[in-house]
Amino acid sequence: MARNLPWVLLIIVVSCLVSTLEASEGDSDPLYKSCVDQCQKTGCVGDTCFQHCKFSADGKAIDGPWYMQEPLYLRWKQWDCQSDCQYECMMTREEERKRNGERPTKYFGKWPLKHVYGIQEPVSVAFSALDLAMQFQGWVSYFILVYYKLPLQPNRKTYYEYNGIVHIYAIIVMNSLFWSSICHSRDVELTERLDYSSATVLAGFSLILAILRSFSIQDQSVKIMVTAPILAVVATHILYLNFYNLDEGMVL
């Protein structure tokens, strides 16, 4: 029993850590919860009021005819009563914490960031968009190089063995960066699923490309033997994220 004591203590500590990570300190704060509940009832946080709280979750007016439905552009951006109340209560609570000399805390697993024109994480969006532009420029440069500057085979195919897989990889990278920009601009369940799924595909395909290039694998049957298990794992993980547990800690 004495030999197993360190392992028992380790398991207890890890279990406690896991239980504390289920909810962030900010969104579990009673003052924050009370603020959100009150805002959803009254539509106001202090002097700030939201017209979205006059509508139900499906965009229909609570007390009004059908033509009073919430505008489509607001419904598309998912600026509803709950999200507005959560954001305003978060910023109000953080101002109080700052005045009390307390450090910022996370809400729903993320740090409190001020929105700019409705964009949740403007700096992350800017960097993702810049990265996307650079990747597109690199892809176009590669296309021009292999098809217009380097010699081609008589059948107009390139001499580079991995040309096709490089093009696929470039498209996957740009797709991942595109959805990353969208998710950072407006983080809802749909954009999270698309972002995480795209990142999972990118991780799996990066591993495939790294193995093929590192070992100079050119035999078609060996390529299939390498690719098939990785694609199966990627597909299974995407199904897990989308239909069982959407956990950002399980993305990669």
133 Cβ contact list (under 8 Å, min separation 6): none
State the DSSP string of the chain: -TTTHHHHHHHHHHHHHHHHTSS-TTTT-HHHHHHHHHHHHHSEETTEE-GGGGB-TTS-BSSS-GGGPPPHHHHHTT--HHHHHHHHHHHHHHHHHHHTTPPP--BTTB-----BTTBS-HHHHHHHHHHHHHHHHHHHHHHHIIIIIS-B-TTS-BS-TTHHHHHHHHHHHHHHHHHHHHHHHS--HHHHHHHHHHHHHHHHHHHHHHHHHHTT---HHHHHHHHHHHHHHHHHHHHHHHHT---GGG--
Enter the tokens of residue 47: 């002097």
- Does the predicted TM-score (pTM) go above 0.75? no
Cβ 62 vs Cβ 54: under 8 Å: yes
pLDDT at 86: 86
Q: Give the confidence band of 196 by pLDDT, cuts at 50, 70, 90.
A: very high
Q: For the chain, state the CA radius of gyration.
A: 25
Asked if pLDDT for residue 167 goes beyond 90, the answer is yes
Side-chain-side CA neighbours of residue 37 (13 Å): 8
Enter the tokens of residue 213: 């290039």
pLDDT digits (tens, 9 = 90+) for 87-126: 889 999 999 988 998 888 888 777 788 888 778 888 889 9
Asked if pLDDT for residue 13 goes beyond 60, the answer is no
Owner of token pair 């990066």? 206
